[in-house]
Chain A
Amino acid sequence: GQQLNQSPQSMFIQEGEDVSMNCTSSSIFNTWLWYKQDPGEGPVLLIALYKAGELTSNGRLTAQFGITRKDSFLNISASIPSDVGIYFCAGQAWEYGNKLVFGAGTILRVKS
């Protein structure tokens, strides 16, 4: 089946730093999605990408749909304490019946 490799697995942030994470696959996807999950909650959609090369922003978050359609990245600029949580990438492809496949997540923690 399709697999998404998400990296890094975890990282520490200091307030004000920029953060980057990415997701790669051996399969082609038609849609890339980025979610954030807070403890005890369901994942919340941050950004949706529909076209190869697309660059989309949502406040301090920017995500891109890779040209090859096999990867995507998420940047968070000027991080703040409430950015901590787990970030998931997800991909969807019509030829796989619109199943949404997830990466294992990137855990963002605050550097003390």
Chain B
Amino acid sequence: DAGITQSPRHKVTETGTPVTLRCHQTENHRYMYWYRQDPGHGLRLIHYSYGVKDTDKGEVSDGYSVSRSKTEDFLLTLESATSSQTSVYFCAISDGGGKAFFGQGTRLTVV
């Protein structure tokens, strides 16, 4: 298995609070991605990173920000959580050669 760890694995938070999810890799891969998975929508890209401090938006980036201060960590922050952000969040990594590998996911519930 690729060395990807997501934390926390489960979180319940209140509407309006900030939340940060962490993705940690031990593979030294250049590319890191954050997706959310919702029934009927598959996996939708939130943000991705192509290097330290280099990030770009995906198709559903509103309400989310990211940071990558070192190769191994990619943080996803929900600035003010809303119920529509209840979802399962997946981190993925890639060396740019095509293959991408996923973490185990974080189940986030906003109440």
- Is residue A33 within 8 Å, beta carbon to beta carbon, of the partner chain? yes
Q: Is the CB of B48 within 8 A of A45?
A: no
Chain A residue with Cβ nearest B48: A99
Neighbouring B residues of A1 by C-beta, 8 Å:
59
Q: Which A residues between 81 and 96 are near B, CB-CB below 8 angstroms? A: 88, 90, 92
Q: Is the CB of A98 within 8 A of B59?
A: no
Neighbouring A residues of B110 by C-beta, 8 Å:
none
Chain A residue with Cβ nearest B44: A102
- Is residue B70 within 8 Å, beta carbon to beta carbon, of the partner chain? no
Interface size on A, residues (CB 8 A): 26
Of A12-20, A36-44, A55-63, the stretch lying at the interface with chain B is: A36-44
CA distance A48 to B100 in the complex (A): 10
Interface size on B, residues (CB 8 A): 26
CA distance A103 to B42 in the complex (A): 6
Q: Which B residues between 29 and 87 are near A, CB-CB below 8 angstroms? A: 31, 33, 35, 40-45, 48, 50, 56, 58-59
Neighbouring A residues of B7 by C-beta, 8 Å:
none
Most A CB contacts (10 A, CB to CB) among B45, B100, B103, B105 go to B100
Q: Is the CB of A42 within 8 A of B102?
A: yes
Proximity bits, B89-111, A CB within 8 Å = 1, else 0: 01010101011111111000000
Neighbouring B residues of A88 by C-beta, 8 Å:
42-43
Chain B residue with Cβ nearest A31: B98
> If the complex has contacts A33-B98, A42-B90, A50-B98, are A102 and B105 also in contact, measured as CB distance less than 8 A?
no
Q: Chain A interface (Cβ within 8 Å of chain B)?
A: 1, 6, 30-31, 33, 35, 40-45, 48, 50, 88, 90, 92, 97-105
Q: Chain B interface (Cβ within 8 Å of chain A)?
A: 31, 33, 35, 40-45, 48, 50, 56, 58-59, 90, 92, 94, 96, 98-105
